[in-house]
Amino acid sequence: MMTLDNIFKYFEEISKIPRGSGNEKAISDYLVSFAKKHNLEVIQDEVYNIIIKKPATPGYENGPTVILQGHMDMVCEKNKDKVHDFTKDPITLRYIDDMIYADNTTLGADNGIAVAMAMAILASDDVKHPPLEVVLTVDEESGMTGAHALNPEHLKGRILINMDTEEEGKLLVSCAGGLRTTITLEADWKKPEEGYEAYRIEIKGLKGGHSGADIDKERGNSNKLLGRVLNAVYKEMPFQLSHLSGGSKSNAIPREAEAVVFIPSDKSQVLIKTINEWDNILKNEYKISDPEVTVNVHKADNSFENVLSWEKTEKAIALLMTIPNGIQTMSKSIDGLVESSNNLGVVSTNEEGITFDSAVRSSLDSLKEYIKEQIYTVAKLVGANFNAFGDYPGWEYNPNSRIREVFQRVYREKYGKEAEIIAVHAGVECGLFGEKIEGLDMISFGPDMYDVHTPNEHVSISSTKRTYEYLLAVLETLDS
């Protein structure tokens, strides 16, 4: 008998394996070994998606085949002063009361808890269930390329239970679609003018968060705030830009950003005064959502030797100022639901130039296209290169869902109250599965998780146990 504690045993095991988006071969191979150890049929495709099949337990052979689905990759975010290499270092787990945290990095409970729950079911000898197909995809967090590449011919199931939701007692039945965009402003590097010195301007202390689930919290975006600060400084004293960076994932609201600027040597006090003013401005504006925000400036080291031309500097600031960000529209049919948004998640600098990466989300394809065209137009106006990719569909509400009715009934019987039916602005892979498999009946659920996509990510132990028991009760119900 596999106890509830085995969920956390498996979660600890997979936390030892680096599994950032695009780096899933090791975790995929581990899951292949796990399946073979338990004499289960396993398919590993060319992108390292995993499908593990388990026959029905006695008495459930005539039940409908059920797809249990999650993703094995995780968002890799850490605090700036944390030394951690996500390509080789394990995630350190910290158990504090009812919560599991990492150590100044993302935890990976999104979506490692789903992987661990699926493993516990697959390894169990006496959990009652119909035929199961466990599908664990790669690269969900940075483009859903695993779900895009999945061959539906490997699957017989027409019921899908996605385990990538972060609030216990809420049943997800619809989500937004999305895409990614990239603007690249080509560099024209040159030596700074005589008598100019390098200063580093930094924005820190923002909470960040998930660019879908947390976009309605109106938290500060460090890249956009840096644009406002640089625009204000430039009006006081034109400078030459040497470096811009902020954020690390387009689907995470960026918490930190910095710029290195070259200013006239005699203007340092003006710069410091302007930065101090903006520190106060942002502390006032974000005193509720981001009370620890800070803006500071100090002399940069001598590693910065080149700058952009005046023209390219102005264009870089213009992009930070004008790329749309945050909520764009609210749903007219579902109260409180964000309908469309954009997140300027990553700004980076290299020899070729400065790149601005965004994650667009929308419940309506037409609005997703509109935001994409806005970003394209901004790029066109400053003569920058534009690219859009990773387009994935939304998931429309199914008014005749059998699996939703089962989940509602079981929840009512177990807990004596109604489960909440929700739609979210975040994206899950259900839209792509529904596009690939005609007539697929889907639902998404999960335990309480907090601050996902940030180094403060944590998950409730008791909620995970209840969620697992709830899933088992649902599976036991599906006997015919």
Indicate which residues carry an active-site annotation. Answer: 73, 140
- 454: Cα separation from own chain's centroid: 9
Question: Residues 345, 249: contact at Cβ < 8 Å?
Answer: yes
Helix-strand-coil split of the chain, %, nearest 5: 30, 30, 40
Question: Residues 447, 463: contact at Cβ < 8 Å?
Answer: yes
DSSP letter for 393, please: -
Radius of gyration of the chain (CA): 24
C-alpha 145/C-alpha 121 separation (Å) is: 26
Nearest in space to 154 (alpha carbons), one of 29, 50, 32:
50
Residues contacting 134, CB < 8 A, separation 6+? 50, 51, 52, 53, 54, 67, 68, 69, 118, 121, 122
C-alpha 178/C-alpha 427 separation (Å) is: 7
Question: Residues 332, 349: contact at Cβ < 8 Å?
Answer: no
Nearest in space to 50 (alpha carbons), one of 72, 77, 20, 80:
72
Tokens 């780096």 sit on residue:
23
Q: How many helices (H) and strands (E) does the chain have?
A: 11, 23
Q: How far is CA 45 from CA 28, 142, 145, 214, 270, in A?
A: 10, 19, 12, 33, 59
Other CB atoms within 10 Å distance of the CB of residue 27: 25
Tokens for 226, please give them: 């840096």
The backbone torsions φ and ψ at residue 296, rounded to the nearest 5 degrees and listed phi first, read: -140, 165
- Segment (H or E) for 6: helix 5-15
Nearest in space to 106 (alpha carbons), one of 117, 91, 90:
91
